[in-house]
């Protein structure tokens, strides 16, 4: 699929329609950057509820010495009282769930940490990334505070240094920065990447980092947070990976993929 001639114009139209139909998500304030980044690492290649389970298991095994008073009952729930998979944001989790004792986590072997976070999947690589992050933060600041590292190095140098750590890529960094600090960025996860390609705003195959790079200069000031969260909701409910609901989609009039997805689904089934 080729990108359209004026992708920014289409992006602005999509932004408007998403906000008209889904509302305007607003950043809900500063959070602990280390907590958000560990949650984001745990969410790689899995669902947010699975990431949350891994995080809660870790915090249950190695509870922080002093409770902060966070309350997991504040997490969004569905009608059955289960974690609401559509509404859940990792930032909700950072706000509602007690973190583990980071000193104790940093002293675990990779194998031990992998056992504690197994519920989030890919335990070997995620445990390596979390330990690399903790050791880097301690080296830079003398304590386990990613906020202090960002403040000390500045945003750009922090991004540069974090992206050198194994298992921590552009998406993980950008999610952490928008949720924890309110940076005006639109992280590109699987939903954002798929939908922008389907809509012809970018044409980037399976290269999510390229989508992030192309999208950045197109974004109108102050609206990246809204775009990111609305695309997440839209990708989970309407423009899903396997069976997009094109018939009831409010973007169908400007989507070059309308009909194509249904046809390719039918031919796969046949
Ligand atoms: S028309 Fe279909 S493919 Fe296009 S954005 Fe809507 S759900 Fe996605």
Q: What is the mean pLDDT of residues 237-252?
A: 95
Q: What's the gap in Å between 246 CA and the centre of ligand 1? A: 5
Q: Is 261 in the pocket of ligand 1 (CB under 6 A)?
A: yes
Provide the pLDDT confidence category of residue 5 given band limits of 50, 70 and 90: confident
What does the pLDDT read at residue 53?
A: 93
Q: What is the pLDDT of residue 76?
A: 84
Q: Are residues 69 and 167 both part of a single domain?
A: yes
What dihedral do alpha carbons 3, 185, 191, 206 form, nearest 10°?
Answer: 50
pLDDT at 70: 85
| Residue for token pair 């046949």 | 270
Specify the residue with its C-alpha closest to ligand 1, atom 8.
239
pLDDT of 269 strictly over 70: no
Whether 268 shows a pLDDT value over 70: the answer reads: no
User: Are both 17 and 60 inside the same structural domain?
Assistant: no
pLDDT attached to residue 73: 80
Last residue of a domain, one of 162, 181, 200: 181
Residue 196, pLDDT > 70, answer yes
Average pLDDT taken over every residue of the chain: 91
Region 217-243: what's the mean pLDDT?
Answer: 95
Based on the domain organization, do 94 and 212 belong to the same domain? no
Domain end, chosen from 112, 146, 181, is at 181
210 has a pLDDT exceeding 60:
yes
Q: What is the CATH number of the domain that holds 73?
A: 1.10.340.30
Domain membership flag for residue 197: yes
Task: Ligand 1 pocket test: pick from 4, 190, 200, 239 the residue with the most ligand atoms within 8 Å of its Cβ.
Answer: 239
**94 found inside a domain:** yes
Q: 257 CA distance to ligand 1 centroid (A)?
A: 6
Percent of the chain with pLDDT over 90: 75
Q: Is the CB of 119 under 6 A from ligand 1?
A: no
- Does residue 2 lie within any of the structural domains? no
Distance 222 CA to ligand 1 centre (A): 25
Same domain, 115 and 167: yes
Residue partners of 257: CB distance under 8 A and separation at least 6: 1, 198, 199, 200, 244, 246
Same domain, 110 and 196: no
CATH of the domain at 200: 1.10.1670.10
Provide the number of structural domains found in the chain.
2
Same domain, 16 and 113: no
Q: Verify that 48 and 16 share a domain, yes or no.
A: no
Mean pLDDT within 11-18 = 98
State the closest ligand 1 atom to the C-alpha of 256, by its place in the atom list counted from 1.
4
pLDDT at 180 over 60: yes
Q: Select from 181, 208, 239 the last residue of a domain.
A: 181
Q: How far apart are the first and last CA of the chain?
A: 23
Q: What is the structure's pLDDT at 13? A: 97
Give the domain range for residue 260: 7-26+185-269
Q: Give the pLDDT mean for 66-86.
A: 82
What's the CA-to-centroid distance between 264 and ligand 1, angstroms? 13
Say whether both 40 and 143 belong to one domain: yes
Q: Is residue 1 part of a domain?
A: no
Residues 147 and 219 occupy one common structural domain: no
Q: Do 46 and 86 share a domain, yes or no?
A: yes
Per DSSP, helices labelled H in the chain are: 7-22, 33-42, 48-61, 90-96, 102-106, 110-116, 123-141, 146-153, 155-162, 170-181, 190-198, 208-215, 224-237, 260-269
Q: What is the pTM of this model?
A: 0.83
Q: Is 8 exposed, middle or buried (CB count within 10 Å of its CB: 0-12, 13-18, 19+)?
A: middle
- Do residue 192 and residue 126 come from a single domain? no
Q: Is the distance from the beta carbon of residue 44 to the nearest atom of ligand 1 less than 6 Å?
A: no
Tokens at 246, concatenated: 């094109």
Q: What is the pLDDT of residues 50-65, one digit of tens each?
A: 999 999 999 999 999 8
Q: Could you tell me how far CA 133 lies from the centroid of its own chain?
A: 17
The verdict on the CB of residue 48 being under 6 Å from ligand 1 is no
Q: Same structural domain for residues 237 and 260?
A: yes
Residue 105: inside a domain: yes
Q: Is the pLDDT of residue 78 over 80?
A: yes
> Ligand 1, residues 22, 245, 257, 264: which to mutate, most atoms within 8 A of Cβ?
257
Report the range of poorest mean pLDDT among 64-78, 196-210, 239-253: 64-78
120 CA from centroid of ligand 1 (Å): 29
Give yes or no for residue 22 having a pLDDT over 60. yes
In a domain, 73, yes or no: yes
């Amino acid at each position: 699929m080729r990108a359209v001639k004026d992708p920014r114009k289409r992006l602005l139209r999509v932004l408007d329609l998403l906000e008209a139909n889904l509302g305007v998500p607003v950043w809900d304030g500063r959070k602990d950057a280390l907590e958000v980044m560990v949650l984001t690492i745990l969410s790689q290649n899995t669902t947010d509820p699975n990431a949350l389970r891994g995080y809660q298991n870790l915090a249950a095994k190695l509870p922080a010495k002093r409770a902060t008073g966070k309350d997991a009952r504040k997490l969004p729930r569905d009608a059955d009282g289960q974690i609401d998979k559509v509404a859940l944001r990792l930032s909700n989790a950072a706000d509602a769930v007690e973190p583990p004792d980071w000193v104790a986590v940093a002293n675990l072997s990779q194998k031990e940490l992998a056992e504690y976070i197994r519920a989030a999947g890919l335990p070997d690589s995620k445990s390596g990334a979390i330990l690399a992050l903790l050791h880097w933060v301690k080296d830079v600041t003398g304590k386990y505070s990613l906020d202090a590292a960002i403040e000390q190095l500045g945003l750009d140098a922090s991004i540069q240094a974090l992206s050198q750590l194994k298992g921590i890529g552009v998406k993980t960094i950008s999610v952490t920065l928008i949720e924890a600090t309110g940076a005006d960025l639109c992280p590109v996860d699987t939903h954002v990447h798929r939908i922008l390609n389907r809509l012809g705003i970018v044409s980037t195959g399976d290269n999510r980092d390229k989508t992030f790079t192309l999208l950045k200069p197109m974004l109108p000031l102050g609206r990246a947070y809204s775009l990111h969260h609305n695309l997440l909701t839209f990708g989970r409910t309407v423009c899903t990976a396997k069976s997009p609901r094109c018939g009831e989609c409010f973007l169908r009039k400007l989507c070059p993929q309308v009909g194509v997805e249904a046809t390719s689904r039918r031919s796969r089934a046949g």
